[in-house]
Amino acid sequence: MKSGLNINIKQTQKLVMTQSLRQSIEMLQMSTIELSELISQEFLENPMLEDVSAPRSEDYLEDMVNRNLSGDESDNTSSPEGDVPENSYDADITKNYDEDDKNRLFLENAVTTRESLMDHLLWQARMTAADNDELELYEEIITLLDDNGFIKYGDLAGIQHEKLNLVVQSINHFDPVGCAAHGVRESLLVQGEYFFPDDTILHKMISEHFSDIEKLDYNNISKAMELPLNTIIEKSRILQNLNPFPGRSFSGSDIKYVIPDIDVKLLDGEIIITLNDDWLPNISLSGYYMNMMNNKSVTREQRDYFSSKLQSAKALIKNIEGRRETIIKVVSSVMKHQREFLEKGPGNLKYLTHHDVASEVEVHESTVSRVCSSKYVQTSWGTFELKYFFVSRLKNSGEDVDEDQSSDRVKGLLQSVIAGEDPEKPYSDEELVILLKEKGVTVARRTVAKYRDVLNIPSSSKRKKINMIKS
């Protein structure tokens, strides 16, 4: 067998993930706010980038020329660097402006904090405790509470103190009433006894028939307590005014505001799509550093540095423009398919997939998926996530309807049918199946039940009891 080394040339194709391509893919997934943060970071790292919309030093000279041409001969020797004028009148004005700026900065930088449940209860404990030993017991119990204001049985087992029960009962009556209880039933019982001390019927309902209260089975409670049904219903209305989770009012997370990335309007039958990115910096190449590259005094190392930064800056500008074009193409295709939604509102979305849009726009499905990530659309019917407009297909076996219905369409029909039902005789799931079939949609009973749960619509028996309480 002959052994040796051979040199062969082989031609292959492979995708090279360049920095520019990686940046382009990442930018598609970004929201407008995230893109703004990226641009701000690039301004700090790349001197070849320039914000055209930012004020320039030439503006100060232009302003001085305009004042001189307008005949304003007031002697203003202040410079753009902010030197204080020697004129006493101007100095007073400048002083006032400085004070206003300080006040404004103080208000802008002031941070408001939400009082936690623990802080609120500890504040009351400090005013209630008889001595430091008792205060330590209050603190030990309060720190064991969860976000709902409840405490587990096992957590109290390790605390050995003669005043344990008295301190727990004291916390029960702190604001909010019902904290340091072992669950919803006990918390409601504490609140019932605190706010309605003489209502023994309400106390007995909570302590002995709580499972029936959860099921809204007032008939069973009425029979067990040998009381009229109207009396039980009246007590249930009182229960609705109590808070089953007293601690949640302090543990709620901060509100997160959504800034729409795209604005869509239907004007005179035409779909108008606008990207809400006017507030982004107007990026351009820096003429100052472009000229510096051609300066003979610049070393080769400096020129190579500027050249690499110039290439990076051009790629960023190109990727931003490519992102805009891709988003507009994808959103235009989506809204063309969901035109009925723009005309009639929610409940009128048609079946649509990423594949449908990708084929129409001539991009990969993954590109459509990236465009839909973290993007919100402002319409005349409200603000929706872009993913909202892609809905699944529901197979329709009805003879009167040729095309398949979307799941959103079925949900809309289901809501409208239930909204128009008789409050005293709500439709069962079987009756809803028949009514939907009359409207051209054939679905199974389990499908109706599933969509009810998605829409947070209770069953017919619970809807009847809820309507009875309201009336």
- State the pLDDT confidence band at 100, using cuts at 50, 70 and 90: low
Burial class (CB in 10 A: 0-12, 13-18, 19+), 132: exposed
In this structure, what DSSP letter does residue 377 have? E
- Distance between start and end Cα atoms, the chain: 99
Residue 210 CA to residue 222 CA, distance in Å, equals 13
Mean pLDDT within 320-349: 90
Residues above pLDDT 90, as percent of the chain? 31
Question: What's the confidence (pLDDT) of residue 97?
Answer: 52
Q: pLDDT tens digit string along 11-20? A: 776 656 678 7
User: Are residues 370 and 356 in contact, defined by beta-carbon separation less than 8 angstroms?
Assistant: no
Residue 188 CA to residue 448 CA, distance in Å, equals 34
Residue 263 CA to residue 276 CA, distance in Å, equals 7
In this structure, what DSSP letter does residue 7 have? -
- Is the predicted pLDDT of residue 413 greater than 90, yes or no? no
- Is the predicted pLDDT of residue 91 greater than 80, yes or no? no
- Is the predicted pLDDT of residue 254 greater than 60, yes or no? no
Mean pLDDT within 229-239: 90
Question: What's the confidence (pLDDT) of residue 74?
Answer: 47
Residues above pLDDT 70, as percent of the chain? 80
User: Are residues 466 and 458 in contact, defined by beta-carbon separation less than 8 angstroms?
Assistant: yes
Q: pLDDT tens digit string along 289-325? A: 888 888 888 888 888 888 899 999 999 999 999 999 9
- Is the predicted pLDDT of residue 418 greater than 80, yes or no? yes
Question: What's the confidence (pLDDT) of residue 191?
Answer: 95
For the chain, domains (ranges, CATH) are 117-251 (no CATH), 262-389 (no CATH), 393-470 (1.10.10.60)
Residue 456 CA to residue 471 CA, distance in Å, equals 21
Residue 355 CA to residue 350 CA, distance in Å, equals 14
Mean pLDDT within 254-266: 80
Q: pLDDT tens digit string along 168-220? A: 999 999 999 999 999 999 999 999 999 999 999 999 999 999 999 888 888 99
**Range with the poorest average pLDDT among 11-15, 72-76, 225-229, 311-315:** 72-76
- Is the predicted pLDDT of residue 397 greater than 50, yes or no? no
Backbone angles phi, psi at 376, to 5 degrees: -120, 145
- State the pLDDT confidence band at 224, using cuts at 50, 70 and 90: very high
Q: pLDDT tens digit string along 38-47? A: 888 888 888 8
Question: What's the confidence (pLDDT) of residue 395?
Answer: 56
Highest-scoring range by mean pLDDT, 126-140, 257-271, 289-303, 445-459: 126-140
Question: What's the confidence (pLDDT) of residue 281?
Answer: 82
In whole numbers, what is the pLDDT of the chain averaged over residues?
A: 81
Question: What's the confidence (pLDDT) of residue 188?
Answer: 95
Question: What's the confidence (pLDDT) of residue 264?
Answer: 93
Query: Which amino acid appears at position 266 of this protein?
Result: L
- Is the predicted pLDDT of residue 82 greater than 60, yes or no? no
Question: What's the confidence (pLDDT) of residue 447?
Answer: 83
Q: At what angle do helices 429-438 and 407-419 cross, to 10 degrees?
A: 110
Contacts of 356 (CB under 8 A, 6+ apart): 337
Question: What's the confidence (pLDDT) of residue 54?
Answer: 59
Query: Which amino acid appears at position 329 of this protein?
Result: K
In this structure, what DSSP letter does residue 386 have? G
